[in-house]
Amino acid sequence: MPFSFVLLLVFSASFTVTALWLVLALRRQWFDHPNFRSAHSFPVPKSGGVGFVAVFAVYVLWSWHWGFLSTSILLALSPSLALAITGLFDDFRDLSIRLRLCVQFIAVLVSVLVLDIEPVLVFPGFSIDTGLMAIPLLVVSMVWLVNLYNFMDGIDAIAAMECIFISLALAWFSSRAMAEPVFMLSLVLVAGVTGFLYFNLPGARLFMGDLGSNFLGFVLGILSLLALQAGAVNVWTIMVLFSIFLLDSTTTLTGRIRAGLVWYHGHNSHVYQRAAVAHSSHGKVVAGVTLINVFWILPAAILTVQYPEAGVLVLAIAWAPLLLLGCRYRRDAMTLTGT
């Protein structure tokens, strides 16, 4: 079966399951109701990520059954379902932060132990082997990735478009390194999320919910680690590819902690949220993020692969204008609110 046909099947299945979920959610009134921090003004059906989650899981099992994926990759990806199910419950029942973090840490620890990766940090003139520190560093990083992806899913299409960009980039890097499993998984994820994106474009009729965002944060992290393991990318490449989500979520969280606010409570102080208010448009912000990713982030990521010893310098250069842009939107928002 041609792989292009597989991708078409994945897209069609994801689109169909998502459409059916939308009909069911409308009938059962499974809505995300707006509140003071929401970017939407009317109830929108939630947990629409069920489509791409289900289709991706089926593909992984099918590929493993036919020998296209190793057992270790299957085991590393399997905890994503635990996070998706936890997210689904959280969409409807608001689970405690302790329970969510407990599930996340266990899921991530299992995957990190299965993959057994010890990243090397390459600097100009020297390198650092993470060694015994690899496990705690990767676990904390992965848990943060799951949560930051949830935090950044606050306006229409931004989480889906970010996933598509990162997955396509990983697919391209993996194809050059002959890392076929990562190449296939990344494109399948793109096909599945694209099937959902139709319903999530600005003026969204459906949200992916915590079910979808938790799943995407975890799976993108695992695909990044698999690409790292295959030598397709390095640590700096991964950090560059996640730049916009990583910087916005981390600087916002740091600011809230310094201000004495509860970090895990919902809010609307992210840069992308303030940009959406400033431009009165979700679409403009998502388009801007996509353009930055394609014309700034992707070239920087390519440089980190070609010149790994200069990766940290490329990372600093890539981040500098993004930090300045974030400061501008935060300053403008404070001026508008008089705070």
Contact 44, 77 (CB under 8 A): no
Residue 224 vs residues 67, 87, 120, 126, 157: alpha-carbon distances, Å: 21, 22, 14, 23, 22
Half-sphere exposure (CA, 13 Å, Cβ side) for 217?
30
CB atoms < 10 A from the CB of 33, how many?
Answer: 11
Least confident span in 65-74, 160-169, 204-213, 259-268: 259-268
Query: Which residues, 6 or more positions from 328, have their beta carbon under 8 angstroms from its beta carbon?
Result: none
Contact 50, 15 (CB under 8 A): no
pTM greater than 0.75: yes
Rg (CA), the chain: 19
Mean pLDDT score of the chain = 95
Whole-number pLDDT of residue 40: 84
The answer, yes or no, to whether residue 339 has pLDDT greater than 60, is: no
Question: 146 lies in which domain range?
Answer: 3-337
Whole-number pLDDT of residue 334: 52
Contact 269, 256 (CB under 8 A): yes
Contact 232, 176 (CB under 8 A): yes
pLDDT bucket at 208, cuts 50 / 70 / 90: very high
The DSSP result for 241-270, as a single string, is HTHHHHHHHHHHHHHHHHTT--TTS--S-S
Query: Which of these, 70, 80, 191, lies nearest to 145 by C-alpha position?
Result: 80
Using DSSP's 3-state secondary structure scheme, residue 130 falls into coil
pLDDT bucket at 266, cuts 50 / 70 / 90: confident
Chain centroid offset of residue 210 CA: 12
Domains identified in the chain, total number: 1
Select the more confidently predicted residue: 37 or 311.
311
